[in-house]
Chains A and B, each alone.
Chain A
Amino acid sequence: MAVIPAVSLSLTVNGKAVAADVDPRTLLVELLRTRLGLTGTHVGCDTGQCGACTVHLDGQAVKSCTVLAVQAQGAAVMTIEGLAAADGTLHPMQAAFKECHGLQCGFCTPGMVMSALDLVARHPTASEQTIREELEGNLCRCTGYQNIVKAVQLGAAEMGTRGA
């Protein structure tokens, strides 16, 4: 087996500059979890279907299990760990998930919240139907989605009023 040279990578993750030499096959989610210790981003499948690994890459939701770390060269990555304020105050979308009981086991939750923020950015006043369609790429086995939909609506409303 030929040795593949490592790639020097620099990017920002949750606003902090990060530099790492990575095997070019490394997935973005592996970089986040095993190199940077950001274990809030979860892996729930191996076919890009479940969405538990969703993060933001330059402001857009991506499934970090289907993105190579090298594709994030120079980019800004935001994970669930980067959402709350420095003093620990929850982002309005996180707070809405708690308020509406939009999570149970918590495993799909980080990906769900990151997808919710992306969809609200594109549809600030999304209807229930739009939210349900937009969340098609995020599987939840616990909640039946009803309270997630409510949480996204509340989070969107709170973000609108607070200008978050």
Chain B
Amino acid sequence: MGATEQSVIGQSVRRKEDYRFLTGAGQYTADVYPKHHTHAYFLRSPHAHAKIRRIDTAKAKAAPGVVAVFTGADLEGVNGLPCGWLITGTDGKPMNEPPHPVLAQGKVRYVGDHIALVVAETPNQAKDAAELIDVDYDVLPAVVNCVDALKPGAPQIHEQAPGNKCYTWALGDKAAVDAAFAKAAKVSKLDIVNNRLIPNAIEPRAAVATYDRAGDSYELYVANQNPHVERLLMTAFVLGLPEHKVRVIAPDVGGGFGSKIYLYAEETAMVWASKRVNRPIKWVAERSESFVSDAHGRDHVTHAELALDKDGKFLAMRVHTTANMGAYLSTFSTCIPTILYATLLAGQYTTPVIYAEVTASFTNTAPVDAYRGAGRPEATYVVERLVHQAGLDTGIAQDEIRRRNFIRSFPYQTPVALTYDTGNYDATLDEAMKMADVAGFAARKAEASKRGKLRGIGYASYIEACGLAPSNVAGALGARAGLFEAGEVRVHPTGSVTVFTGSHSHGQGHETTFAQIVAARLGIPVDNVDVVHGDTGRVPFGMGTYGSRSLAVGGTAIVKALDKIVAKGKKIAAHLLEAAEADIEFKDGKFSVAGTDRSKAFGEVALTAYVPHNYPLDKLEPGLDETAFYDPTNFTYPAGTHIAEVEIDPETGVVEIVNFSACDDFGNIINPMIVEGQVHGGLAQGIGQALLEQCVYDKESGQLLTGSYMDYAMPRADDLPSFKVGTKVTPCTHNPLGAKGCGEAGAIGSPAALMNAVHDALA
């Protein structure tokens, strides 16, 4: 493949990673089989809430094949799992942050909470031995609903969180909002539940921990989206190990969707235990463990109001949300219903004042954290359900009420802290309406009605904040970490390139997209570029992949490193060509003296850097290997309109999606095929949320009722239609790629579009 900038950016290059996945040569954590390894099994709480009076492990320790049994009592000196985001409440106080022990300390707080780690020769021996552990429970009443948890008399889950409250937090000018509501011609109101979801990456979480006594060091393979963050949290905050003595490898990872961002108890306990047993320990979650112990998503209860003038212009929005944190604070849990939610409530609209108040509560359920979209689907659902309702309340058509309120001047400062850099919301709405053939809808509805079917159409014009994040802004909002990204471009002597990125690919195709960026810039074939990710022993410190950040932030770090490569290459070329550095141009893989036909190919310059026989050694180091860290100056703002058309059978209630059209603006696109695939997948998850998926805990016992694929409705091939997807482009103004991010949009826009279509059909 001869690839120049013209040919390779914007091309649907087939993925470099596919060959290994298609031939069974992928290397997932469960495929790692170290010599002489043992197997871990975690004894989990069968109760939602209980005091532990006593744990007797004697029989388990004596069982066949058992190497060791550890409980919370053994973990003295080990800290709890940290939360990465401090939220300050309306009372000016920091959030309530109860301990999150690695193994239970005297109490269990959800079904699936970790009680003991059994290490044995085989998985079955570990499991059999766990059954011999005698735990004496004092079972307590449980609460699973986030609103119920805040009521007087609710079971008290943590001593450190009176009334089960984590925080009440607010954003916006309450007085101005109240004043605007007082003058409104119309107020639209809704009570909204954002249903709880279980992420269900098809690869269950897994870990393999090995201690090396000779080097007093550890190696952890783990199904994870951000190995450097995992290592930092585990070493510095929990286990107190020197960071350089722990290598974390997240090899091929079978989907994440947020659920593999976090530092979990399992791998933390295993790293600690690997030194005690001095043998590798392997754990692969059974699916039923994934259901009870992966961090869940969403779970909001909201009352929302929109004030309008007589022409349907939005005057103000007021939102009260209760968010479920689960039993403990997972790594990023606290920022999801606040920083990543309330800041998006302006949507695509000029609503001048907005006030949002969020109360987060503890419940006897699995921890809740980011799941594809993370806060932004919840915000979009509130805004777009409310706008739909406003259309009904005012009699203004759904496209028209949106157009009357679209932001059209950029940059735009919203009343909820964000500054949108660019966008064209009319363009995506227009295109989506064409794709959906809105003009023909009335005829289709009439035809469906003859067949006894109810047909409806629904819109969602969403916005998201991606490209996490400007570190100074995130820090001011409570982030306890930076959110830059790192990239290293290593040019080899013969001119081929290895890229080391702090981003992590678990399906997103970075090995191809990032290679396209490098190939285009250096004028070399895509096949001459390999991308390495997911190994703290190889890649520079990076923050990983979530929040649709990899291209906008991780890709830009690579671009910055490429800038350094080209700058150094020009110096080398100037020496070789006996010209002034300022006269050297780099284009299509050649360093040329401007206005002449004298040039040196990229490969020649690379070789010169490593065989510096004729080289300006007095001015320049040999080698061609550059690293860059990039911290964005703003979030990116992908936006678009999704339109769903459904047909409902009034006899059975079955909802059929007869048309789904999505027009998105992701800024500049490197690989359209990969982008389309990301949209398809996001739509499937959003439609799953709207029509199929629902995590249910029993209200009395706190047992998870949707704990298997027999009970939790995952979208299957015949549940979904073929989607129509299109794009419009307004390039991001503040990164050199002009890229905004595409990973979450599908899951953000689609639930509201679907539910609006259902409401329209039933209207």
- A residues with a Cβ closer than 8 A to B are 1, 33-34, 38-47, 49-50, 52, 79-81, 83-84, 88, 90, 94, 97-99, 101, 103-110, 113, 128-129, 131-133, 135-136, 138-149
Residues of B near any A CB (own CB < 8 A): 12, 14-15, 17-28, 30-31, 33, 64, 200-204, 252-255, 257, 284, 286-288, 506-509, 673-674, 676-677, 680-685, 708-710, 714-718, 720, 722-723, 746
Q: How far is the CB of B35 from chain A (nearest CB, A)?
A: 13
Q: Contact check: which of B21, B509, B684, B723 meets A109 at CB < 8 Å?
A: B21
Which of A39, A81, A147 is close to B677, meaning CB atoms less than 8 Å apart? A147
Return the chain B residue nearest A139 by Cβ: B714
Contact partner of B25 (CB less than 8 A), chosen from A40, A108, A149, is A40
Chain B residues positioned under 8 Å from A34 (CB to CB): 33
Check A106 against B723 for contact (C-beta < 8 Å).
Answer: no
Q: Are B23 and A145 in contact (CB under 8 A)?
A: no
Known: A45-B709, A94-B23. A145 touches B720 (CB 8 A): yes
* In the bound complex, CA of A49 to CA of B715 (Å): 12
Give the secondary structure class of B's interface: loop
The count of A-to-B residue pairs whose CB atoms sit within 8 angstroms is: 181
Best-surrounded residue of A33, A43, A45, A79 (most CB of chain B within 10 A): A45
Which residues of chain B are within 8 angstroms of A90 by Cβ–Cβ distance? 19, 22-23
Q: Is the CB of A140 within 8 A of B202?
A: yes
CA distance A42 to B263 in the complex (A): 24
Q: Is the CB of A42 within 8 A of B17?
A: no
Choose one: B201, B287, B722; the contact of A141 (CB below 8 Å): B201
Let me know if A105 and B23 touch, CB within 8 A. Answer: no
Contact sample, A vs B, 19 pairs, CB 8 Å cutoff? A34-B33, A39-B27, A42-B203, A42-B254, A43-B30, A81-B23, A97-B18, A105-B201, A105-B203, A107-B202, A108-B254, A139-B716, A141-B684, A143-B677, A144-B723, A145-B680, A145-B684, A147-B676, A149-B717
Are A145 and B708 touching (Cβ within 8 A)?
no
Query: Are A44 and B202 CB-contacts (below 8 A) given A49-B709, A98-B18?
Result: yes
A42 in contact with B685 (CB, 8 Å): no
- How far apart are the CA atoms of A136 and B232 in the complex, in Å? 41
Complex partner residue of A132 from B203, B257, B509, B717, CB under 8 angstroms: B717
Residue of A nearest to B21 (CB): A106
The CA of A5 and the CA of B674, in the complex, are separated in Å by 51
Q: Would you call A38 and B254 a contact (CB within 8 A)? A: no
Chain A residues, CB < 8 A from B19: 90, 98
Q: Is the CB of A106 within 8 A of B26?
A: yes
| Chain A residues closer than 8 Å to B18, beta-carbon distance | 97-98, 103, 106
Q: Is the CB of A136 within 8 A of B718?
A: yes
Q: How far is the CB of B397 from chain A (nearest CB, A)?
A: 30
In the complex, A148→B673 CA distance in Å? 13
A106 with B17: CB separation less than 8 A? yes
- Return B679 CB to nearest CB of chain A, in Å: 8
Q: Nearest B residue to A38 by beta-carbon distance? A: B24
A1–B286 CA distance with the chains assembled, in angstroms: 25
The smallest beta-carbon distance between A11 and chain B, in angstroms, is: 18
| Minimal beta-carbon separation of B243 from chain A (angstroms) | 28
Do A107 and B508 contact each other (CB < 8 Å), given the known contacts A47-B710, A141-B257, A141-B681?
Answer: no
A136 to chain B, nearest CB (A): 5
Q: Assess the B673–A142 pair: CB atoms within 8 A.
A: no
Bound: A132/B202 CA distance, A: 18
Cβ–Cβ < 8 Å partners of B674 in chain A: 101
- Whether A98 pairs with B23 at a CB distance below 8 angstroms is no
Closest to B286 in A: A46
B residues in contact with A98, CB < 8 Å: 14-15, 18-19, 22
A45 to B33, CA, bound (A): 20
User: Would you call A50 and B202 a contact (CB within 8 A)?
Assistant: yes
A104 touches B508 (CB 8 A): yes
Contacts of A148 in B (CB 8 A): 717
Q: Given the complex of chains A and B, what is the CA–CA distance between A92 and B111 in angstroms?
A: 46
Could you say which residues of chain A place their CB within 8 Å of the CB of B682? 144
Question: Which residues on B sit within 8 Å (CB–CB) of A103?
Answer: 18, 21-22
Contact call B722/A133, Cβ cutoff below 8 A? no
When A44-B202, A99-B14, A138-B717 are in contact, do A105 and B680 touch as well, CB less than 8 Å?
Answer: no
Interface centre among A50, A128, A146 (most CB of B within 10 A): A146
With CB as the reference atom, state the residue of chain B lying closest to A103.
Answer: B21
Q: Roughly how many angstroms separate A88 CA and B25 CA in the complex, as a whole number?
A: 12
A80 contacts B24, CB within 8 Å?
yes
| B680 and A147 contacting across the interface, CB-CB below 8 Å | yes
Complex CA–CA separation, A33 to B408 (angstroms): 57
